[in-house]
Homo-oligomer: A and B are copies of this chain.
Amino acid sequence: MSKRESKASGPDPSTETGAREGASEKAEERVRESFAKQGIMKLLGAEVVEVAEGRCVIEVPYSDELTQQQRYFHGAVAGAIGDSAGGYAALTLAPPDREVLTVEYKVNFLAPAWGERLVARGEVITAGGRLIVCKAEVVAISAEGEETYCAALQQTVATTPAEA
């Protein structure tokens, strides 16, 4: 049986790989569902471009509406997608009956955010039952594909009982 057919018939929870894939798909579904409900992410034009266990990447294309006074991406955009990328990375490791909530984050701005797109790569550092610590790097990517490291974020996320 080919890999594709196997996938078409769904992950087999009896094998470890299958279970992991299933968990990962579930996590991606949770992330995309929650993300779609966030008015602010739509307003910013942000999109989830990757979800994996303990990892989430969010991207936003350049627009004049996202700038600070010198036409770079505003730090608020880096903060917003960095925080979200970290938070959703945490969600992928949270128990299924729990949601996540950012407790706090700290962000350093490293370079002017100049580019066609701003990309935030969130990653879990350590995951406990109640608290998950994450980091995110935010890079600006030029038309030529060159990356500039713009912001580094370190974050604490709490798991909370999901609302009924």
SS of A interface (majority): mixed
Q: A37-B69, A76-B76, A80-B80 are in contact. Are A125 and B152 (CB under 8 A)?
A: yes
Query: Could you say which residues of chain B place their CB within 8 Å of the CB of A156?
Result: 103-104, 108, 156
How many positions in chain A have a CB within 8 Å of any CB in the partner chain? 47
User: Chain B nearest CB: distance from A124 CB in Å?
Assistant: 11
Q: Is A158 an interface residue (CB 8 A)?
A: yes
Do the beta carbons of B154 and A106 come within 8 Å of each other? Answer: yes
Number of copies: 4
Q: Which of these binds chain B: A15-23, A49-57, A127-135, A138-146?
A: A127-135
Query: Could you say which residues of chain B place their CB within 8 Å of the CB of A152?
Result: 125, 133, 135, 154
Q: A106-B104, A106-B106 are in contact. Are A43 and B70 (CB under 8 A)?
A: no
Do the beta carbons of B70 and A79 come within 8 Å of each other? Answer: no
User: Chain B nearest CB: distance from A77 CB in Å?
Assistant: 6
Instruction: Encode contact with B along A60-72: 1 for CB under 8 Å, 0 otherwise.
Output: 0001111111100
Q: Which residues of A come within 8 Å of B, CB atoms?
A: 34, 37-40, 42-44, 63-70, 74-77, 79-80, 83-84, 101-111, 125-126, 130-131, 133, 135, 149, 152, 154, 156, 158, 163
